Amino acid sequence: MKPSSRRSAWACCRASAGALLLLVSALAWPASAATDEVRLFERAQWTVTPQNVTPLVTADWTWVDLPDTEATPRLEGSRLGNRPHGPLKAPVHWYRFRFMLGDPVVRSLALYTPRYSDRARVYVNGSMIDRSFLEADRIEHGWNRPLWTVVPRIALKAGSNEVLIGVDSPYTGEVDIGRLRVGPPAALRDDYQWSYILRISTAQAGFWMLAGLALFSIGVWAVRRSERLHLLLGLGAAVFAVRMLHYFVVVPPVSPEVFWWITTASLPWTMVFLFLFAFRYYDLVRPRLARILLLSATLVTVAIAPGTGLDAYEVAPWVYLGLLPLALFTAGLFIERAMRLRSAPPVLLAVGYTTTIGVSCYDLAVMGHFVSLELPYLMPVGAVLMFLSFSLALGARYVEWLGEFEILNRTLEERVQERQAALESSFERLEALHREQALTEERQRLMREIHDGIGANLVTTLAAVEASGEEGDPRAANALRSAIADLKLTVDSLEPVDGDLLSLLGNLRYRLAPQLEQAHIGMQWEVEPLPMLDWLRAPQALHVLRIAQEAFSNLMQHAGASTVRVSTAVGSNDAGDAAVVRIEFSDDGVGFAHGEAVPLGKGLDNMAHRAAVLGGRLLVRSAPGEGTTICLELPVTEPHAAKAV
């Protein structure tokens, strides 16, 4: 690249940073002021010599202002010079400082300047005191380091003392130096240490933090491949961790060309990964744009690779300027989402990213010498803050997801509990069905045994008694008939009724019809549909049949009636708070008056007791010559008394 092109690139960098001068002023580095103990040199004499040559006393010295950023342009006409010069060919720029000391010299002195580029050697009163490189052909990248040298008392003298600082840049070609401070080591050490922390230690800490974040994020993605956000964040952190190296690595492990190629190419890849992170974070699907960004970063990386004809260090300003629209677009996206969503994760992303953009512009101002080169570069701090905010935003998003998952889990638990309750209810119903089936099977077995065993024996005995004619006892035949009828009633009660009261009464009608016909008693059957009585099972059915049997028995034995009427109805109890069904047995017999002795024995008492057991009641209405009505009133819902049967 021609010197004019290089000047244009750096001029564009300066122009892009000019709008942020107020920010730069706010971040201005508090430089040490001159005191009685510390001398601050804001001017120096400058000259140039070849390598391994110290300037003569008679050399052509020129006064220059400090900080000095124009040494290379003064000598070679461009900011980077005719680079690369090479470690044994680069011109050495010398700066001469003079100061007076009293007699005797009682202490050593420290020399400190916040920044120089790239290699330095220090002479005091003609003797070399210090240098940053061990070998003359060793290339250093010391552009971000402060200079600190302690001059022993023996090297100083009373009266005039001369300090020569020789600076050269074998690879980058840019020679810079800040103002020189001379004073007691104790008076300057804090300034030096603070400058070293901001320039070097912060970058080192940022490198390890980003490397750890990269390992963690990529590790999460390796375990859960669906977590693409972790992959993008990890790749961005890894690439920027590599970029951090040029802030503090003096002698790179690879050639300078490769080192600056990696350093320059890392920034577009970082921007691409962060851009893709932002789009995936907000579920913005832009596959074509993603491919364009990846292709652009690849082309830039290949174009500035060593051996392609473009030098990565020279074209770095153009690369940085080319990334500016992408950076501003991403910042706008983050800010727009933060204003729209107004929650912690988007705000963290917006603050972290826009802060880094501001820091980048500030660093461009330092790089372009819009502000003093003594100011430290803040990108290591900004990058750590940005990736930290991204990590916090990702964590905050997971916290929100965890809250949603907790709500979902509670909902699922409630549904599971509901399903479990339904399953338990179904299981209970199934068990009840199994019990009912077992009971039904047992009833069927008993019915068969009664019918085929006891029933058959009774019928055979009755036939034998009836065959004996006059020789037999008619009471035995009647007793046998009564036993057979009672046995049939018991068998009927064992039949599954499933709450169907009318079916139970229909079976009773079928059983009693022959007896009523034999007794010359007519039957009026006036029943209407009744609700199902869920509580009506075999034990309860037997009580109902016994009550009905007793009612018909009294009718046939004592009433002297010619007709009996059976009717049903649905109503409510006396309190009016529960539904009941009523079964009435009415005859047109002789009846009886209340209070008079009736030849019914304990029949009515037994019927009333059975009705009470069923949770109902028995009502009897009668008058002489008007017949008798027996009403059985039963609840529709399961009564407590029926449960205990």
With a CB cutoff of 8 Å and minimum separation 6, the contacts of 222 are none
Q: Give the pLDDT of residue 624.
A: 82
Q: Give the pLDDT of residue 113.
A: 96
Backbone dihedral angles phi then psi of residue 373, each to the nearest 5 degrees: -70, -10
Final residue belonging to a domain, choices 376, 410, 444: 410
Question: What are the pLDDT digits (tens) for 41-85?
Answer: 999 999 999 988 889 777 789 999 999 999 999 999 888 888 778
Omega prior to 529 cis, within 30 of 0: no
Of 151, 156, 116, nearest in space to 133 by CA: 116
| Whether residue 519 is found in the same domain as residue 395 | no
Q: Give the pLDDT of residue 333.
A: 85
CATH number at residue 178: 2.60.120.260
- Confidence check: pLDDT of 494 > 80: no
| Whether residue 519 is found in the same domain as residue 598 | yes
CA distance 170 to 251: 13
CA distance 134 to 42: 29
Backbone dihedral angles phi then psi of residue 36, each to the nearest 5 degrees: -65, -30
| Beta pairing partners, 12 | none
- Confidence check: pLDDT of 139 > 90: no
Mean pLDDT of the 294-320 span: 89
Q: How many CB atoms lie within 10 A of CB 402?
A: 11
Comparing 124-138, 220-234, 459-473, 474-488, the range with the smallest average pLDDT is 459-473
Mean model confidence pLDDT for the chain: 81
Omega prior to 474 cis, within 30 of 0: no
* Strand ranges across the sheet with 92-101: 62-65, 43-49, 92-101, 159-168, 119-124, 127-131
Provide the residue range defining the domain that includes 514. 498-645
Final residue belonging to a domain, choices 132, 150, 183: 183
- Confidence check: pLDDT of 32 > 60: no
Residue 465 lies in a domain: no
Which range has highest mean pLDDT (194-198, 309-313, 493-497, 591-595)?
Answer: 194-198
| Whether residue 156 is found in the same domain as residue 212 | no
| Whether residue 388 is found in the same domain as residue 255 | yes
Residue 380 lies in a domain: yes
Residue 541 has which token pair?
A: 């059915």
Q: Give the pLDDT of residue 36.
A: 67
How many domains is the chain partitioned into structurally? 3
Residue 623 lies in a domain: yes
**Between 379-449 and 344-367, two packed helices, what is the crossing angle to 10 degrees?**
160
Residue 218 lies in a domain: yes
Final residue belonging to a domain, choices 364, 381, 410: 410
Give the pLDDT band of residue 1 (cuts 50, 70, 90).
very low
Q: Give the pLDDT of residue 96.
A: 96
Residue 65 lies in a domain: yes
| Whether residue 60 is found in the same domain as residue 208 | no
| Whether residue 528 is found in the same domain as residue 616 | yes
Question: What are the pLDDT digits (tens) for 560-580?
Answer: 788 888 888 888 887 777 888
Q: Give the pLDDT of residue 38.
A: 92
Q: Give the pLDDT of residue 446.
A: 64
Omega prior to 473 cis, within 30 of 0: no
| Whether residue 386 is found in the same domain as residue 535 | no
Mean pLDDT of the 478-507 span: 67
Q: Give the pLDDT of residue 458.
A: 59
CATH number at residue 504: 3.30.565.10
Comparing 15-19, 185-189, 344-348, 602-606, the range with the smallest average pLDDT is 15-19
Question: What are the pLDDT digits (tens) for 259-282?
Answer: 999 999 999 999 899 888 888 888
Contacts within 8 Å (CB) and 24+ apart, 155-158: 155/124, 155/125, 155/127, 155/129, 156/101, 156/105, 156/108, 156/109, 156/124, 156/125, 157/101, 157/105, 157/125, 158/101, 158/102, 158/103, 158/104, 158/105
Residue 553 has which token pair?
A: 């028995």
Q: What percent of the chain has pLDDT over 90?
A: 27
Residue 20 lies in a domain: no
| Whether residue 253 is found in the same domain as residue 333 | yes
Residue 288 lies in a domain: yes
| Beta pairing partners, 445 | none
Question: What are the pLDDT digits (tens) for 433-450?
Answer: 787 777 666 666 665 556
Q: Give the pLDDT of residue 602.
A: 62
Residue 455 lies in a domain: no
- Confidence check: pLDDT of 138 > 50: yes
Which one is predicted more confidently, 204 or 472? 204
- Confidence check: pLDDT of 13 > 50: no
| Whether residue 334 is found in the same domain as residue 248 | yes
Instruction: Give the SS3 label for residue 586.
Output: strand
Q: Give the pLDDT of residue 24.
A: 40
CA distance 276 to 268: 12
Which range has highest mean pLDDT (183-187, 370-374, 402-406, 423-427)?
Answer: 183-187
CA distance 401 to 227: 14
Q: Give the pLDDT of residue 190.
A: 93
- The DSSP-derived string for 322-377 is HHHHHHHHHHHHHHHHHHHH-SHHHHHHHHHHHHHHHHHHHHHHHHTTSS-TTSPP
- Confidence check: pLDDT of 16 > 70: no
| Whether residue 379 is found in the same domain as residue 285 | yes
| Whether residue 258 is found in the same domain as residue 168 | no
Question: What are the pLDDT digits (tens) for 167-226?
Answer: 999 988 899 999 999 999 999 999 999 999 999 999 999 999 999 989 999 998 998 888
Backbone dihedral angles phi then psi of residue 393, each to the nearest 5 degrees: -65, -40
| Whether residue 204 is found in the same domain as residue 160 | no
| Beta pairing partners, 628 | 622
Quick one: DSSP state of residue 254? Answer: S
